[in-house]
Structure 1
């Protein structure tokens, strides 16, 4: 639920306008026996349901245009989806023993609006952050060649190099290596705290960790090169059955990497 609240807050703060009068789909009927497919005009970036008794699955490894919806008995909830082009969608979901339709082609007209990045704070500069966090300068080059976890896909490798705790922050050192033969334009890098497993839907929960600052964030990683950068996150501790997930998306392209630690 924390992740859902964050998404709603970002939408409200980002574009601050009402969405009354916009074209919406009727309530989507779903059950646990059938897959209800939703096809979008742009690949899915992020999605979440308002109730763990309903689940929307989509390809987290490689960006795709569709996802599959299921729901258990006596469930009424909603589904929020953000696509790679920055459009946000919301749908009502209700359980039905016999669903009337098992696929929907979503048009951009169904969007509730664009999700814009929050405006930066005054004084939110590299100089001010390096003054507040002096160890930033040495972190990217201080952890050698080892890694806590890594994942490779289509010639791109994402590595979690180090986690450093200081007061109320966690400094996460990340490296991206490009051996794909094609330049990689860095899009978003999401850090999620995961509790439970998708195999046990009733107990699964993911909470997004919003970085305070990203130090030396690259715009593009040329093929044959690598680059490290640091995410400054609010302090968190992983408890039993919890893990950390990093999701790296390409800015203009479908490449996607998902790392679990």
Structure 2
């Protein structure tokens, strides 16, 4: 079960190799009547528990430095957290009626180490990449105002314009607009497959889909500018109870956008 939880966590976060550091913190004790607050040195990027008996709540729209932990009776599981600065943390979680503490302040020494992101391949304009390049350039030239979903927050807009299937691949065309008055340093634009509903934690699952190629994605969204980019993924068709979620994250910042589409 522990190995299964570890593998699920690694898949959900899309982690690369670790630079291993200190050992994880000892067991965290929680119950269903009080919140245990965990304070990190950097805002939380992603977090997941090993099963539905423990819940770790954090702000998914505006990155914050803390999250709240609760657990039901007989809980024995683990909690994985990755922060914006790239550090990964793992904790054991167990139920206890009387909590020894209700807040924990953490630093990098409590982490397992830093996560190295998986590299995205560059186009070599040869073979299959040459065909992809022609398709992506054509998609960016076609500005027909399609809109499969849009989310706006604090002057930043994320729009999914198109979803096109070519052979065994799926092409997603995004529009990113910054009218916030402040440049937006882009950390990631991730795509996740959602199965189930967050209200039913026993059946809810998020799985990150890794792009084959990313085209025309800038490192910074300049204030007052609009960008159109393309991501290429293996072909994917959503099931009856599945949706896709796009997550736009700001580097070392709190502006986060999430877009759900079918």
Preserved CA contact (<8 Å) 1:130 1:136: no
| Structure 2 unmatched ranges of 5 or more | none
Q: Once the two structures are superposed, what CA deviation does each residue of 1:160-211 show, in whole Å capped at 9, x if it has no partner?
A: 1111112222111111111111122221111111112222222211111111
Q: Once the two structures are superposed, what CA deviation does each residue of 1:121-173 show, in whole Å capped at 9, x if it has no partner?
A: 6xx43524641413111112324223110010111110011111122221111
TM-score, length basis structure 2? 0.89
* Count of residue pairs brought into register by the alignment: 254
Shift in alpha-carbon separation, 1:216–1:47, aligned structure 2, 3 A: same
Q: Once the two structures are superposed, what CA deviation does each residue of 1:93-119 show, in whole Å capped at 9, x if it has no partner?
A: 112233322211111110110101235
Preserved CA contact (<8 Å) 2:195 2:243: yes
How much has 1:74 moved relative to structure 2? 2.4
> Is structure 2 residue 246 aligned with structure 1 residue 246?
yes
Partner Cα distance (1:234, 1:161) in 2: 18
Shift in alpha-carbon separation, 1:126–1:46, aligned structure 2, 3 A: farther
Partner Cα distance (1:7, 1:197) in 2: 16
Q: Hey, what does 2:157 align to over in structure 1?
A: 157
Q: Once structures 1 and 2 are overlaid, which stretch shifts more, 148-157 or 30-39?
A: 30-39
How much has 1:7 moved relative to structure 2? 5.4
> Is structure 2 residue 230 aligned with structure 1 residue 225?
no
Partner Cα distance (1:66, 1:116) in 2: 23
Shift in alpha-carbon separation, 1:240–1:96, aligned structure 2, 3 A: farther
Partner Cα distance (2:100, 2:10) in 1: 30
Shift in alpha-carbon separation, 1:7–1:238, aligned structure 2, 3 A: closer
How much has 1:26 moved relative to structure 2? 1.6
3-state SS in 2 of match to 1:10: coil
Partner Cα distance (1:101, 1:142) in 2: 58
| Structure 1 unmatched ranges of 5 or more | none
CA RMSD in angstroms comes to 2.1
Q: Hey, what does 2:125 align to over in structure 1?
A: 127
Q: Hey, what does 1:61 align to over in structure 2?
A: 61
Q: Once structures 1 and 2 are overlaid, which stretch shifts more, 51-60 or 37-46?
A: 51-60
Shift in alpha-carbon separation, 1:237–1:99, aligned structure 2, 3 A: farther
